[in-house]
Chain A
Amino acid sequence: MTSGPFDVLRCEPTLDEGAIRRAYYAELRLHPPHLDPDGFKRLREAYDVLLDPQGRAASFFAAPVDLHALRARYEAQLGVPLAAARAAASGSERVQRFVEGWSALTWAEAIARASG
């Protein structure tokens, strides 16, 4: 499996050229050309791709999004207020919502959802 240029530079996908430069120089210390020519070549190729605005844009939009990390971020933002909103609902409404919501899921979906 080939890794994208952001992976080679070990930085989060970004369009910020400054952040890319910083990541490059940080990695350059680990892969100096005289000690690690292959590593340096890989690093330099990735850096060149990201220095080109079109290459940077293509790499940025092609870089996979860590959906679990993103989900955790939004859960941290909305988890508490959503729980509070649920608690505010009456018991029978909660049961009705429970039945309506969970009965529509397949068993696999329900297990995944409840244990996720």
Chain B
Amino acid sequence: MGRRDDPKARKVQRALDELDRGVRRGDVERAAAALGELPAELRAAHAPGLAARFGAEVADAHRRRDWARLAALGRGADGAPELLAGDAGATAWALMWGCGRQSDPARARRMFARVEAETAARAPSLARALKAWLHGGAEGAAGDLDALPQLAAAATRSGGAVPSAPATAAEATAAVCALATSQPWAAVAATLGGRWALTGEAGAATRTAGYALSVREHLERTVLGFGEAWAPLSLAVRMAEAAGSTEATRAETLELLRLVLPAASRAADRPPKELLHGVIRLGVRDVALRPMVLSAVAAMAQGPAEWRARAALYRTVYEATAEAEAWAQGLLAYFWRPEADHEVDPEPWLVGAIGALLANGGLAAWLLRPTPGRKDLLEAAFDLMQPDEYERLCDEVWERADDDLRTQLSVWMAELIEENPFAGMGGLGTISPAVIASSMRAVQAAMFQRQVRMLPYSEDFFRVAVGRAKSDAEASDAVARFVARGGTIQRRLMALRVLQEDGMKFLADEMLSEVLEVHEGDATALAEGTLWCSGQGAPMRVVAELAAALRAAVGDGVPPPGGVVAKALMVADALFPRRAEKKPKKPAAEKKPKKPAAEKKPKKPAAEKKPKKPAAEKKPAAEKKPAAEKKPAAEKKPAAKKPTGGGA
């Protein structure tokens, strides 16, 4: 009789074909069932090739809690125990639950037998409870069930009523524990996070117990390595937030920060973004902890590709605190983004916060601190702000800035001017739309210059402002603003020099008059001015005027040798010798007493002169130009009264 006629051989062949088909199609259940049809020696030969896939299939079904699938796979494993030969117990454990939950206790017991010894050795209570369950119910093993840890995360009670909220503080812990032992974690979180009103003393005690339960659940899951370990901490954050008082919850806040923040920098097991932001919000809510939390945030998300995460963290801090620090750091995160993201627009919150930060002075205060990134922030803010906002910021900062910041501001403004390719083109009207579209940044710079006409804070800007002035009034306004930032004789003389170099003779003469009037009688200032002008190569007419004023201020007095006045007098004498003293031929009777310097010039006698005004009073010039309050020109000596003598 041939093999084809042998029923056993045909059955084996069919099983082999079925096994092959199952393997090829990835149908592990079918392959396992076919394997079970083979004689022992063939099972032993074919099982190793299937065991790994079988184990993976079981693990996947267990993860999905597909008990029916596990029961079916259990039937396959029961027929072909070779599939479990190399298994450490995990597959048999899952199959045991599948069979047990699908009312197949006999097969479940056989699966349990494979793990019973080790389970009994390592977790005797669990082994006894399982054995009791597999033999007809675990009620008999009540003591063992009580000895097992509570699995709040996995506990379910379909249709079970949520316990009622505790009425008193004394009942709170028991109520929270009853909730935890009767409901799945999602229901626990929903109940404590909203269904129970956490008000009054009972509410406070419930919140405290809820916080402890949440952290305990997180620790259980973390230490024992199961479930979503971070999920319970979201409830812990809500419980800490519900407390309201930051003093009372400082310890809880610190605990949460320590549990969450270090994990945020880990590649694996990173906390969810919502949790991280929630913990940071909680941390910065406490003013005492805020600087420390900000330090911790600064150390997070350092990589260039993480700029979005970094900006988002600062957004959370800003929304919780409305502090300029968070806004500035968020803007810097955006500003320092990698080149690949340069087309990304700033987030609306960065733009939206500008008004408030300008109004409360927070942004200026931030810039006034010697913080790294100050200059970058100035540049970044320029891209975001309207020209008037930016000018306001610069004005405010300049008023209170130290030398370092003023230098930074000056450098930055100089860069802005350098970058502007449309300088001198007569404004935006002459620029073609194509050019505008090609360089929005340059257009912004051009608009800035056109609309606010520079900030004449440093000599360079003043020079540009005067050079671009479209009228004497504009130039005069720039002069007033430049001089107002200091009011020293050097500053006025700088203005004078720029005006002369730009050919604005009228304004230059006015400035010289102002210098002589404001500093009249101030020998030190006039001496400094004389020396400054002679050193700077100023026109001799100006040096002569100053020298004359200096001589008048000194009068017959003898300045201390080596001082600035003495030095200036030496320079003056060298440049403009006192000719009047070289006329000894006049008879003594005709000799007039030495004229005071003031009489040599067509100035009013000292008595007729107005008293010296503070710089502020000298600014009105209402009749002269629109920017009246900034320019004192009209009240200054008219051009006709200007001194004419002594010029070189």
Q: Judging by beta carbons under 8 Å apart, are B150 and A54 in contact?
A: no
The answer to the question of B500 belonging to the interface, with a C-beta cut-off of 8 Å to chain A, is no
- Give the residue among A106, A113, A114 with the most B Cβ atoms within 10 A: A114
Q: Judging by beta carbons under 8 Å apart, are A114 and B219 in contact?
A: no
Q: Judging by beta carbons under 8 Å apart, are B178 and A88 in contact?
A: yes
Cα A62 to Cα B292 with chains together (Å): 12
**How many residues of chain A have a CB within 8 Å of chain B?**
56
The answer to the question of B395 belonging to the interface, with a C-beta cut-off of 8 Å to chain A, is no
Please give the distance in Å from A10's CB to the nearest CB on chain B: 19
Please give the distance in Å from A89's CB to the nearest CB on chain B: 6
The answer to the question of A30 belonging to the interface, with a C-beta cut-off of 8 Å to chain B, is no
The answer to the question of B606 belonging to the interface, with a C-beta cut-off of 8 Å to chain A, is no
Given B142, B173, B222, B261, which contacts A91 in the complex, CB threshold below 8 Å? B142
The answer to the question of B634 belonging to the interface, with a C-beta cut-off of 8 Å to chain A, is no
Cα A64 to Cα B338 with chains together (Å): 32
Which of B117-125, B327-335, B453-461 has 4 or more CB atoms under 8 Å from chain A? B117-125
Given A54, A71, A89, A98, which contacts B216 in the complex, CB threshold below 8 Å? A71
Given B142, B156, B174, B216, which contacts A75 in the complex, CB threshold below 8 Å? B216
**Contact partners of A35 in chain B: CB under 8 A:** none
The answer to the question of B355 belonging to the interface, with a C-beta cut-off of 8 Å to chain A, is no
Cα A68 to Cα B222 with chains together (Å): 10
**Contact partners of B205 in chain A: CB under 8 A:** none
Q: Judging by beta carbons under 8 Å apart, are B181 and A116 in contact?
A: no
Given B93, B145, B177, B258, which contacts A110 in the complex, CB threshold below 8 Å? B93
Contacts A57-B291, A104-B154 given; does A112 touch B225 at CB 8 Å? yes
Q: Judging by beta carbons under 8 Å apart, are A98 and B93 in contact?
A: no
Cα A111 to Cα B202 with chains together (Å): 38
Please give the distance in Å from B138's CB to the nearest CB on chain A: 4
Q: Judging by beta carbons under 8 Å apart, are A97 and B257 in contact?
A: no
Q: Which of B65-94 contact A (CB under 8 A)?
A: 65, 67, 89-90, 93-94
Please give the distance in Å from B299's CB to the nearest CB on chain A: 6
Contacts A78-B216, A82-B177, A88-B178 given; does A114 touch B123 at CB 8 Å? yes
The answer to the question of B101 belonging to the interface, with a C-beta cut-off of 8 Å to chain A, is yes
The answer to the question of A65 belonging to the interface, with a C-beta cut-off of 8 Å to chain B, is yes
Q: Judging by beta carbons under 8 Å apart, are A99 and B133 in contact?
A: yes
Q: Judging by beta carbons under 8 Å apart, are B133 and A98 in contact?
A: yes
Contacts A74-B212, A100-B156 given; does A109 touch B254 at CB 8 Å? no
- What does the 1/0 interface line of A73-116 toward B look like (CB < 8 Å)? 01101100111111111011111111111111111111111111
Q: Judging by beta carbons under 8 Å apart, are A113 and B226 in contact?
A: yes
Q: Closest A residue to B222 by CB, please name it.
A: A67
Please give the distance in Å from A3's CB to the nearest CB on chain B: 16
Given B59, B174, B224, which contacts A113 in the complex, CB threshold below 8 Å? B224
Given A62, A86, A93, which contacts B146 in the complex, CB threshold below 8 Å? A86
The answer to the question of A58 belonging to the interface, with a C-beta cut-off of 8 Å to chain B, is yes
Cα A66 to Cα B141 with chains together (Å): 35
Q: Judging by beta carbons under 8 Å apart, are B213 and A110 in contact?
A: no
- What does the 1/0 interface line of B195-217 toward A look like (CB < 8 Å)? 00000000000000100110110
Q: Closest A residue to B67 by CB, please name it.
A: A103
**Contact partners of B223 in chain A: CB under 8 A:** 67-68, 71, 116
Given A60, A84, A101, which contacts B258 in the complex, CB threshold below 8 Å? A60
The answer to the question of B490 belonging to the interface, with a C-beta cut-off of 8 Å to chain A, is no
Given A57, A68, A91, A115, which contacts B139 in the complex, CB threshold below 8 Å? A91
Please list 24 pairs of residues, one from A and one from B, whose beta carbons are closer than 8 Å in the complex, sorted by A's number: A53-B295, A57-B295, A58-B296, A60-B292, A61-B262, A61-B292, A64-B262, A71-B219, A71-B223, A74-B219, A78-B212, A81-B177, A87-B146, A98-B148, A101-B153, A101-B155, A103-B65, A103-B67, A105-B226, A107-B93, A109-B225, A111-B118, A111-B122, A114-B149
Residues in B lying within 8 Å of A, measured CB to CB: 59, 62, 65, 67, 89-90, 93-94, 97, 100-101, 115, 118-119, 122-123, 125-126, 129-130, 133, 137-139, 142, 145-146, 148-151, 153-157, 173-174, 177-178, 180-182, 209, 212-213, 215-216, 219-220, 222-226, 254-255, 257-259, 261-262, 289, 291-293, 295-296, 299
Given contacts A82-B180, A102-B154, A109-B224, 6 further A-B contacts (CB under 8 A): A15-B292, A64-B262, A67-B219, A70-B219, A98-B148, A99-B101
